[in-house]
A and B are shown apart, each in its own frame.
Chain A
Amino acid sequence: MDVQNLVNISKNARIDILKMVYNASSGHIGGAFSAIDIMVYLYFYKMNYSLENFENNERDRFILSKGHASAALYTCLAYKGIIKENDLITFRKINSKLQGHPSRKLTKGVETSTGSLGQGLSFANGVALGLKLKKINSKVYVLIGDGEINEGQIWEALMTSIRYKLDNLRIILDYNHLQIDGFIENIKDPRPTKEKFESFGFATFVMDGHDFYDIDKTFKFADQVKEKPVFIIANTIKGKGVSFMENNVDFHGSPPTKEQFEKALLELTNV
């Protein structure tokens, strides 16, 4: 694993995400920055996924259940060559292929449309179940938000993952502790978090969602698990990478001002 390469991709992705949201005057930087390192690891190291195979049933799949982190997904797809890098700047604009939340019909490489929270895990279960029925050995990675687990459907879906022993599925929780209205602990406290998922029957892991070595170690452990689905709690920081955006709920769904944009760009460029 070339960690420096992954670090560079993440750096570029954060800069592009910042530009996309600034240019669109809307979008979700905080949750894109908390998730991007995990997504870069999956797209540029872990997954069997490329321009050549991205429409084959044998590909690994990444499903962004927390669809508001769409900008992060689009940068990955662009760097993979699935969509045009030039299109990134059209994000959230009229007539764009890059919708505010991912649209399967409009954007190549988007596994399914997401944005209405709580539904991507059920979709991922269906994919994992279907791959098993077809005896295809590919993996399904699904990223859910920690605010998203307020949704009841997530818990319905968790029971489905367990019921069908979907060991080809890895659920990753972007545990950044913030949702629009504030700290998740003040809204619908999920704690004890790890114990909850363990008690459901998942092989549960905790990792640092910004440390490629730890991410890699965790996914390698996950690959040893049989007969059980894997649940990974990724400790992350909302807005990771820009000092004044980190752990700041103001950057959940609001764009930066011109001043903030320039300051953030400077910080991200000088890492």
Chain B
Amino acid sequence: MFEKKSSMRTTYGKELVNLGKKYDDLVVLDADLAKSTKTELFKNQFPERFFDMGISEADMVVTAAGLASVGFKPFCSSFAIFLTGRVYDQIRNSIAYPHWNVKLVSTHAGISVGEDGASHQMLEDIALTRVIPDMTILSPSDSTMVKNLMEKIYNYDSYLYMRLSRNDVYDIYEEGTEFNIGESFIHGIGKDITIIATGQMVSKALEAEKTLKKEGIACGVVDMYTIKPLDTKTIDKILNISKGILVCEEHSYIGGLFGAISEYVVRNNPVIVDFVALNDTFGESGKVEELFEKYGLDKDTIIKKGKSVYDRI
């Protein structure tokens, strides 16, 4: 169904350069991973506004807060594992609590890190950032979306966390499609079930949807690229039509999008909500598709779980 793939992190790096040309107050910090996070593209163009902080993420994010305090708009990047778990306290106490406008953009989120294994596969970053008051969390599903969101992120007047993947992901959207912080993209809402997916699970969900429809299940897919603040308007729409929800995310089922949606649904209009996500586990080394299959994040698992939700509604 989808053919072309592209790199969200390369798009991120390119858009940093484009925004850097337009805005003098944009500065970028990285922690010795500029080649991987693609902030190197910005570094090459604007060396005086790029700070390689070395392998010291805690120092990086708080230095960014200091830069924000004199009027700069800093973007900090590293792998998701180091940009959230390692510096949870710094984000909480030195960015969020004093409310500094620092943008945290991670790459290598999720199990799709692949061969590097569990120490580098961040499956808890949404959970960790979601509990921080007023944190905004984005989890884009393709490169067009990243491109469209970047200037909105720059202009967004608060701290924010965005997670991107290491691997290339399928192009879902046509150039020029509009996305907004706080919103979702509704591909469809099913009379039986709706699959709410985020990140690179969206393309898999759209493929699974075709099979489920063929088998007679009235099904739709929503790309919930804003994780926080939760898009309750869209969830309300789904609850008015669907009898069950399946949430798909490349993250632990605890504390992520499944958690966020469940917390909302359970106190409003309870229906069955199930998940396709990491089942309270660490990952391991392997190829991306092998890992998706072994850990139940593939199209077949979405189909199986979709049927299971349908059977229970």
Interface residues of A (CB under 8 A from B): 57, 103-105, 111-113, 115-116, 118-119, 122-131, 133-134, 136, 152-153, 156-157, 159-160, 163-164
7 closest A-B pairs by beta carbon, nearest first, are: A126-B66, A130-B70, A122-B62, A156-B56, A156-B59, A104-B98, A126-B63
A126 touches B98 (CB 8 A): no
B98 touches A157 (CB 8 A): no
A sample of 27 inter-chain contacts (CB < 8 A) reads: A57-B71, A103-B98, A104-B97, A104-B98, A104-B99, A105-B97, A112-B65, A112-B94, A113-B93, A113-B94, A113-B97, A116-B89, A116-B93, A116-B94, A119-B93, A123-B65, A124-B66, A127-B67, A129-B63, A129-B66, A129-B67, A130-B71, A130-B72, A134-B70, A153-B62, A159-B54, A160-B53
For the complex, what is the distance from the CA of A57 to the CA of B70, rounded to whole Å? 6
A-side contacts of B93, CB under 8 Å: 113, 115-116, 119
Residue of A nearest to B60 (CB): A122
- Central interface residue in A113, A122, A164, by most chain B CB within 10 Å: A122
Residue of A nearest to B93 (CB): A116
Check A112/B69 contact, CB under 8 A, given A105-B97, A105-B99.
yes
Q: Which of B48, B53, B60, B98 contacts A113 (CB 8 A)?
A: B98
For the complex, what is the distance from the CA of A160 to the CA of B51, rounded to whole Å? 10
B-side contacts of A123, CB under 8 Å: 62-63, 65-66, 69, 94
Q: Which of A104, A126, A153 contacts B58 (CB 8 A)?
A: A153
A-side contacts of B67, CB under 8 Å: 126-127, 129-130
In the assembled complex, B113 has its CB within 8 A of some CB on chain A: no
B69 touches A130 (CB 8 A): yes
In the assembled complex, B148 has its CB within 8 A of some CB on chain A: no
Residue of B nearest to A131 (CB): B70
In the assembled complex, B90 has its CB within 8 A of some CB on chain A: yes
- Central interface residue in B56, B60, B99, by most chain A CB within 10 Å: B56
A125 touches B66 (CB 8 A): yes
By DSSP majority rule, is chain B's interface helix, strand, loop, or mixed?
Answer: helix
For the complex, what is the distance from the CA of A118 to the CA of B93, rounded to whole Å? 11
In the assembled complex, B258 has its CB within 8 A of some CB on chain A: no
- Central interface residue in A57, A116, A130, A136, by most chain B CB within 10 Å: A130
A111 touches B71 (CB 8 A): no
B-side contacts of A164, CB under 8 Å: 51
B-side contacts of A124, CB under 8 Å: 66
In the assembled complex, B42 has its CB within 8 A of some CB on chain A: no
B-side contacts of A152, CB under 8 Å: 58
A126 touches B69 (CB 8 A): yes
A-side contacts of B56, CB under 8 Å: 153, 156, 159-160
Which residues of B (35-94) have their CB < 8 Å from a CB of A? 48-49, 51, 53-54, 56, 58-60, 62-72, 89-90, 93-94
B-side contacts of A159, CB under 8 Å: 54, 56
By DSSP majority rule, is chain A's interface helix, strand, loop, or mixed?
Answer: helix
Check A133/B69 contact, CB under 8 A, given A125-B63, A159-B54.
no
Residue of B nearest to A123 (CB): B66
B-side contacts of A156, CB under 8 Å: 54, 56, 58-59
B63 touches A122 (CB 8 A): yes
Which residues of B (19-35) have their CB < 8 Å from a CB of A? 27
A-side contacts of B68, CB under 8 Å: 126
For the complex, what is the distance from the CA of A129 to the CA of B59, rounded to whole Å? 13
The digit string for B138-149, where 1 denotes a CB below 8 A from any CB of A, is 000000000000
A160 touches B63 (CB 8 A): yes
B70 touches A127 (CB 8 A): yes
In the assembled complex, B100 has its CB within 8 A of some CB on chain A: yes
For the complex, what is the distance from the CA of A208 to the CA of B54, rounded to whole Å? 35
For the complex, what is the distance from the CA of A57 to the CA of B71, rounded to whole Å? 8
For the complex, what is the distance from the CA of A103 to the CA of B93, rounded to whole Å? 10
A-side contacts of B62, CB under 8 Å: 119, 122-123, 126, 153, 157
B66 touches A105 (CB 8 A): no
B-side contacts of A115, CB under 8 Å: 93
The digit string for B88-112, where 1 denotes a CB below 8 A from any CB of A, is 0110011001111000000000000
A-side contacts of B94, CB under 8 Å: 112-113, 116, 119, 122-123
B54 touches A133 (CB 8 A): no
A105 touches B70 (CB 8 A): no
Q: Which of A116, A127, A153, A163 contacts B69 (CB 8 A)?
A: A127
B-side contacts of A116, CB under 8 Å: 89-90, 93-94
For the complex, what is the distance from the CA of A185 to the CA of B65, rounded to whole Å? 32
Residue of B nearest to A128 (CB): B66
A-side contacts of B53, CB under 8 Å: 160
- Central interface residue in B53, B60, B70, by most chain A CB within 10 Å: B70
A-side contacts of B70, CB under 8 Å: 57, 126-127, 130-131, 134, 136
